Structure 1
Amino acid sequence: MGDLLLMMIERVGLIVILGFLLLHIKQFRWLLHKQNGYKVSFILIGIFSSFTIVSNYTGIEISGNTIMNNNWLQGVSSSSTIANTRIMGIEISGLLGGPLVGVGVGFIAGIHRFALGGTTALSCAISSILAGVVTGYIGYLYQKRNRVVTPKFSAMLSIYMVSLEMLMILFITDNGWSIIKTIAIPMIIVNSFGSFILLSMIQSILRQEEHAKAIQTHKVLLIADKTLPYFRQGLTEESCTQVAQIIYHFTGTDAVSLTDREKILAHVGLGSDHHLPSHSLITELSKEVLKVGNIMKAKSRGEINCKHEDCLLQAAIVIPLTSRGKTIGTLKLYFKDSNSLSPVEEELAEGLAKIFSTQLELGEAELQSKLLQDAEIKALQAQINPHFLFNAINTVSALCRTNVEKARKLLLQLSVYFRCNLQGARQLLIPLEQELNHVHAYLSLEQARFPNKYEVKTHIQDELHTILLPPFVLQLLVENALCHAFSKKQPICLVEIHVYAKQNGVHFKVKDNGRGIEPGKLEQLGKAIVSSKKGTGTALYNINERLMGLFGDGTTLHIASQLEGGTEVSFTIPTERKEGRTIENISS
């Protein structure tokens, strides 16, 4: 028994080494994170099945009391059995991949074991399939409850699965008891020990990756927070110098440079003596990035194409900065050692470029908004509340430490929110679907700040998603409700959005179950600016003015409210606009 145990430990070491090598492949780690869709499941079945097949081929053949130490089994004689680590691979696949992966791997492992032959071929095949079913279901339960399987639990489960295999051998195989006495204890010890080691290793590497992503996301958000005031000023030498110093400080690169389409605007770090702002033209590499609009890397001084003989910079990554779909400049991160340019730096640079491009668009939109003659329209169309942005960034930053995936999704919603602000600032009318995306993005960010506080329901006729309406109208009405309608102690904060066709127009209604509005102020809302502790009513007044300006006096806000009975704000956009121009876009 001792010899068999040592030989099996050698076999499990091989599986652990293979697992360690596989975990260092980025695509495999991505599959473990993804874990949805049939394509991913089938790939995982193929990978984990190869583990079990290797376990079968490297199993130790036992005939009676004789142990045959073959390095690679081609088959098993009818009077022999094998001891192997097959159950370990099936168990890990089920716990990580769920029922489909577990059953698939168990079935393939069982069929392959049956094909090798031997006295225990049938019992091992059946136990393999059962192990896949059981561990897959357990993995599903853990995923459903959002819990993580611990290595200790995996080891205990492995003991039960091997014991199940021993029971199959006892009841199905002739001389089952004598076989069990030989292989049971070594197989239980080695499979449980191997499951513990392999799952510990998998979870450790995945946690390290999540931790690195959290740090990277937090760093990007921190830089974005610091650079926002400067990028809102546009690409100027003053703003870019401040931005470059912030990036240089937080990224640890050897130099940072920012350019427009013609010249260097700022350079901080190594090479500052000859990469001079305003006096140095952009390099050929930067010109190529501006031309194609894609990220490009340089891993030699020749590729950087710096003309200065004593330049210490040997590698660079150049990222395009865009605004409204056009490349207006570049961000360059320099390194004095080409080995320092790793995928981590590339991902960081790419994330910064996207954030910076959004900030530049914000700055450009803000600059354009100042040129608008109507100050009220400007405030409504181009306002971007800095407090809302900073609150959102702080929320996402906090989530980076607890829920990286949720932080990533909120970043996307933040991007949608600002993109809708930018697009709305340039358009008179937008489709209802676009306005609803704006509302959804805003709600996602607010609900992340105040979990389980707000409930928003939409009741919209399907054919109306393409109807045109002024931008920000629904978003501001919903925002107004969330900010002013509810008391801090109200348990259920409900907002409903209704959109439906009504005779010769489309009727819009936003209602809440909040504390209501005092009768004295209700008559003035939407008609004038009303001062109060909670606000001025500017949003409602501006919305009303815009609706009447676009569609006439018949399209005014109707506000109905009762104290402690909620508020309802509604308006109707006519199908035919003034001068006979239609807003209806349903048929197109």
Structure 2
Amino acid sequence: MITLLPLMIERVGIIVILAFLLSQMKSFRKLVNYEQNLPGKFQLIILFGFFGIISNYTGIEISNHSIVHSEWLTAVGSEHALANTRVMGIGIGGLLGGPWVGLGIGLIAGIHRLSLGGFTAAACAISSVAAGIAAGLLGRQRRRKGGEITPIFAVGIGMIMEAFQMVIILLSAKPFEQALALVQVIGLPMIFINGLGSLLFVFILQAIIRDDQRTRVLQTNRAFRITDQTLPFFRKGLNPDSCNAIANIVLNLTNADAIAITDDKQVLAHAGAGSDHHIPLKGLETGLTREALQLGELLIARSKDNIYCMHKDCPLAAAVVLPLKVHQETVGTLKMYFTNPNKLDDVHQELAEGLANLFSTQLELAEAEKQTRLLKDAEIKALQAQVHPHFLFNSINTISVLCRTDSEKARSLLLGLSSFFRSNLQGARQLLIPLEKELEHVQAYLLLEQARFPERYKMTYSLAPGLEKILIPPFTLQPLIENTIHHAFSRLNVQGEITITIYTHKGFLYISVQDNGQGISDERILELGKKIVASEKGTGTAIYNIKQRLDGIYNGRAGLSIQSNSCSPGTTIKITIPMDQKGVSD
């Protein structure tokens, strides 16, 4: 028994070394990551069945209480038996793949053991099949309960399966005395060694899983870093400036030797090796890119010939080209180039695929943002173009009357009306205008209103010097003045006074419109600016429109506030506009 133990450890070492060598292969790594589809199960059966066969060939031939042969075995004497590590591979395979995989592995290893002969051949074949099924059932049950195949669990299964084999040998091998003598010699060493082998095997499997997880985490982290840094540039769409920045970011954060980005017609950016002849804005340099655009599929080149670069001294020897898609249409490509084909491994290919998907998503988001901005601009211009028809009719009627009584004043009002509508038309086409233009619009409006109601309204301006050229949204002041005239003074007999105060403070432009008219109730103030409110005169949209345009143009950085109450005269409306113009939706 003592002599057998080191020889068994040696056999376990052979299997473990073989497993370690296989662990460096990607196909083996996929298999041990609990691959549950039918091809994966079949491959597990073949792989661990092979381990079972190797265990049989490297077994130790036993006769009575002595070792007969410890070299490579192709046959076992009829009165002899075999000590090996076969159950270890069967048990691990069953744990990974389930009972059907365990059955397949057990059949392969068991039939091969039966073919070698010996008085325990039939018992070993039966125990191999039973061990595979049992290990598969136990492994499946553990996974269903949310558990993992831990080293301790695997050791327990390996030792139990080997002990089970000893029981079957005692029950089925004849003569019983010989079977009992064999179990006394090989029982404990085989139970111990198969447990040890299972422990080492699971350690290798866990190392594979940890390495794969670590690789995925690092790759995901790298992809997120690239995505985070490139997002501001993708918002600008595919253009030479944004793509050049993106290409340099990707080049710095990957092991690629060159990065290129194209649209569907030309190279927009190329960073890294080959920049001397892969020049942006001069068409598509390689046939590989044209092919990727036509097919809309990932293409890989592992030689210069497959890249189809016409430049004879091009250093690029391998490439992966991925389509960039917006709404399922290929709009460009992302290309990762390598000067050494060996650098283009599976990790870089998977990273490139992930980046292409993320970049395509970013381009779709950029397109969606562009459409949102266009819609917002259309809504803003529609709001700017609104003019009350009754104001036009009233002005024309006033001018018509004055044509008979005061032609010069009629002429002045006609010029004022022309200026008013010119401002309306210009404002509907522009997002921002100089402050002085908005004040001219207000003056033209007041000229027409005061012609209808002489001496009823008094306007006072307080404008800090040097602010005339500051840009503000059109139709910011005029609707407020119109609103004040229609609502603040409609029920008062006193002369209406309106004061416009404009100044700057800490990077913001402040516009204050104050009147001495009737106040506004607290309930009404809560509604103004947040929704369209009912109005006896006009459409009830003036404050709401101004608030919506300020929010849309300045992305929430501008503000509008109202100070008033119904118990005392006077209302102050204050508009706050950032002067740096950052974030303006253009």
**TM-score, normalised relative to structure 2:** 0.59
User: Per the alignment, in what secondary structure is the counterpart of residue 79 of structure 1?
Assistant: coil
The residue aligned with 1:52 is: 52
1:244 aligns with 2:247: yes
The residue aligned with 1:124 is: 124
Of 297-306 and 284-293, the range deviating more from structure 2: 297-306
Name the CA distance, whole Å, in 2 between partners of 1:325 and 1:224: 20
Deviation at 1:201, TM superposition (A): 1.0
* Structure 2 counterparts to residues 97-496 of structure 1, below 5 A: 97-173=97-173, 174-175=176-177, 176-279=179-282, 281-301=284-304, 303-304=306-307, 306=309, 311-372=314-375
User: Which amino acid in the other structure matches residue 123 of structure 1?
Assistant: A
Name the CA distance, whole Å, in 2 between partners of 1:134 and 1:299: 47
User: Which amino acid in the other structure matches residue 93 of structure 1?
Assistant: G
Name the CA distance, whole Å, in 1 between partners of 2:47 and 2:58: 17
CA contact (8 A) 1:12 1:85 kept: yes
RMSD over aligned CA atoms reads 3.3
Name the CA distance, whole Å, in 2 between partners of 1:343 and 1:171: 52
Deviation by residue 1:456-480 (Cα, 9 ceiling, x = unmatched): xxxxxxxxxxxxxxxxxxxxxxxxx
Deviation at 1:72, TM superposition (A): 4.3
Deviation at 1:282, TM superposition (A): 2.9
Gaps of 5+ in 2: 381-522, 534-586
Name the CA distance, whole Å, in 2 between partners of 1:374 and 1:243: 28
User: Per the alignment, in what secondary structure is the counterpart of residue 33 of structure 2?
Assistant: helix
User: Per the alignment, in what secondary structure is the counterpart of residue 76 of structure 2?
Assistant: coil
The change in CA–CA distance for 1:181 and 1:259 in structure 2 (over 3 A counts) is same
CA contact (8 A) 2:257 2:337 kept: yes
Larger Rg: 2
Name the CA distance, whole Å, in 2 between partners of 1:314 and 1:131: 51
Deviation at 1:304, TM superposition (A): 4.2
Deviation at 1:179, TM superposition (A): 0.8
The residue aligned with 1:83 is: 83
User: Which amino acid in the other structure matches residue 366 of structure 1?
Assistant: E
The residue aligned with 2:425 is: none
CA contact (8 A) 1:80 1:118 kept: yes
Name the CA distance, whole Å, in 1 between partners of 2:213 and 2:318: 27
Name the CA distance, whole Å, in 2 between partners of 1:289 and 1:162: 56
User: Per the alignment, in what secondary structure is the counterpart of residue 219 of structure 1?
Assistant: helix
Deviation at 1:45, TM superposition (A): 2.5
Deviation at 1:143, TM superposition (A): 0.9
CA contact (8 A) 1:259 1:282 kept: no
The residue aligned with 1:33 is: 33
Deviation at 1:83, TM superposition (A): 0.6
User: Which amino acid in the other structure matches residue 154 of structure 1?
Assistant: A
Give percent identity, aligned residues only. Answer: 47
Deviation at 1:70, TM superposition (A): 5.9
User: Which amino acid in the other structure matches residue 161 of structure 1?
Assistant: M
Deviation by residue 1:520-578 (Cα, 9 ceiling, x = unmatched): 9xxx9xx9689xxxxxxxxxxxxxxxxxxxxxxxxxxxxxxxxxxxxxxxxxxxxxxxx
The change in CA–CA distance for 1:529 and 1:360 in structure 2 (over 3 A counts) is farther
Name the CA distance, whole Å, in 1 between partners of 2:319 and 2:38: 40
The residue aligned with 1:69 is: 69
Deviation by residue 1:52-108 (Cα, 9 ceiling, x = unmatched): 233223322212234232644444333111111111012111222223323443354
The residue aligned with 1:9 is: 9
Deviation at 1:233, TM superposition (A): 2.1
Name the CA distance, whole Å, in 2 between partners of 1:281 and 1:98: 52
Deviation by residue 1:404-459 (Cα, 9 ceiling, x = unmatched): xxxxxxxxxxxxxxxxxxxxxxxxxxxxxxxxxxxxxxxxxxxxxxxxxxxxxxxx
User: Which amino acid in the other structure matches residue 327 of structure 1?
Assistant: T
The change in CA–CA distance for 1:109 and 1:274 in structure 2 (over 3 A counts) is closer
Deviation at 1:115, TM superposition (A): 4.6
The change in CA–CA distance for 1:361 and 1:68 in structure 2 (over 3 A counts) is same
CA contact (8 A) 2:324 2:359 kept: yes
The change in CA–CA distance for 1:309 and 1:28 in structure 2 (over 3 A counts) is closer
* Structure 2 counterparts to residues 545-584 of structure 1, below 5 A: none
Deviation by residue 1:129-174 (Cα, 9 ceiling, x = unmatched): 4423432232123212322222233224323322232233334442
Name the CA distance, whole Å, in 2 between partners of 1:58 and 1:529: 88
The residue aligned with 2:491 is: none
**TM-score, normalised relative to structure 1:** 0.58
